Amino acid sequence: MKKFLSLFLAILMMFSCVSSVVATDAENKNVSFADISAHWAEAVIRDLAKAGYIDGMGDGTYSPDTKVTRAQFIKMATELFDEEADGYQLGYHDVGADQWFAPYIQKADCLALIDDAMKIGGLILPDEPITREEAATIAAKAAREKNAEKTEENISFSDEDEISQWAKEGVMDAAAYGMIKGYDTGDYKPKATITRAESAQILLRLIEIENRMQIYVDSEIGNDENNGETAASAVKTIAAAQALLDLGCDVIAQHCDTTAPQLAAEKAGVW
């Protein structure tokens, strides 16, 4: 029986691939945070910072367990898109054109990443901690904008009834896209806030959408001398596929599909 497996780069190798895609010298950036050692998101935070996607607090720390505001999360999500916001032209009552987050709100609005339920009364509430359901809806819209494919099925949370009606589809879509997951207890805690570490994990998964490595495996007619690029050139064993993956994007660049959607990589923490 023919099988198609999508094998994905581990976090460290993913970022050698990401660095080549964004074509920056970020891989040479010396990154060290004093407060992430042994944290569940240590590798995610370190590699995102090394690649230039996130910054620390300016004092040598990252503060991984600090809550993230709506404005901060919106900035993080919108920076993955090339569209430029032509100044701030919106009329939200609590967003001034001279505030640091104004262009990101403008960009998010243009990309339709912010649900109407998060704009009630003409307010964005940029300094309010963002909730898990709010973050999930933004992540789902961002994934959809990047033409992601749903990779998870039969999603359910034990506390689905606690998800706001307006956010339910977004939360389920975010889970289906592999952007989020629930807790080991089976619940999602939609009204809880998220941390800088959890936000970094979501950011990683959004980045991975455009940095996918696909290898075909066919145990019947495959040949481990093949390159695994197509069904006709499938490898025979998982070990051979892993060996190809270990070569890295720079050696087997024909496998790096920067337009195909990316499934979730190794999942750390509760996200």
- How would you classify residue 60: left for phi > 0, otherwise alpha for psi between -120 and 50, otherwise beta? left
Instruction: Considering only the C-alpha atoms of the chain, give the largest distance between any 2 of them, rounded to a whole number of Å.
Output: 63
pLDDT 10s per residue in the chain (271 long)? 344 444 433 333 333 344 333 334 344 466 789 999 999 999 999 988 988 888 899 899 999 999 999 999 999 999 889 877 677 889 999 999 999 999 999 999 999 999 999 999 999 999 999 999 999 999 999 999 999 989 888 899 999 999 999 999 999 999 999 999 899 999 999 999 999 999 999 999 998 887 656 677 888 888 988 888 777 888 888 888 777 766 644 433 343 333 332 322 333 333 4
Task: Quote the CA–CA distance of 125 and 47 in Å, as a whole number.
Answer: 30
What gap in Å lies between CA 223 and CA 217, rounded to an integer?
Answer: 9
Q: How far apart are CA 182 and CA 141, in angstroms?
A: 19
Alpha carbon dihedral 35, 52, 82, 253, in 10-degree steps, equals: -120
Among the listed residues 81, 190, 197, 191, the one whose alpha carbon sits nearest the alpha carbon of residue 143: 81
Whole-angstrom distance, CA of residue 64 vs CA of residue 46: 11
Report the distance separating Cα 174 and Cα 163, nearest Å: 13
Backbone Cα Rg of the chain: 20
Closest residue by Cα to residue 135 from 208, 182, 198, 79:
198
Q: Residue 142, Cβ neighbours under 10 Å: how many?
A: 26
Task: Decide if 248 contacts 135 (C-beta within 8 A).
Answer: no
* For helices 196-208 and 132-145, angle between their N-to-C axes, nearest 10 degrees: 20
Give the residue from 154, 31, 134, 33 showing the smallest Cα distance to 74: 134
Distance separating alpha carbons of residues 7 and 9, to the nearest angstrom: 7
Q: Which helix (H) or strand (E) holds 5?
A: strand 3-5
Q: What is the pLDDT of residues 109-124, one digit of tens each?
A: 999 999 999 999 999 9
List, as one string, the DSSP characters of 185-218.
TS---TTSB-BHHHHHHHHHHHHHTT-EE-EEE-
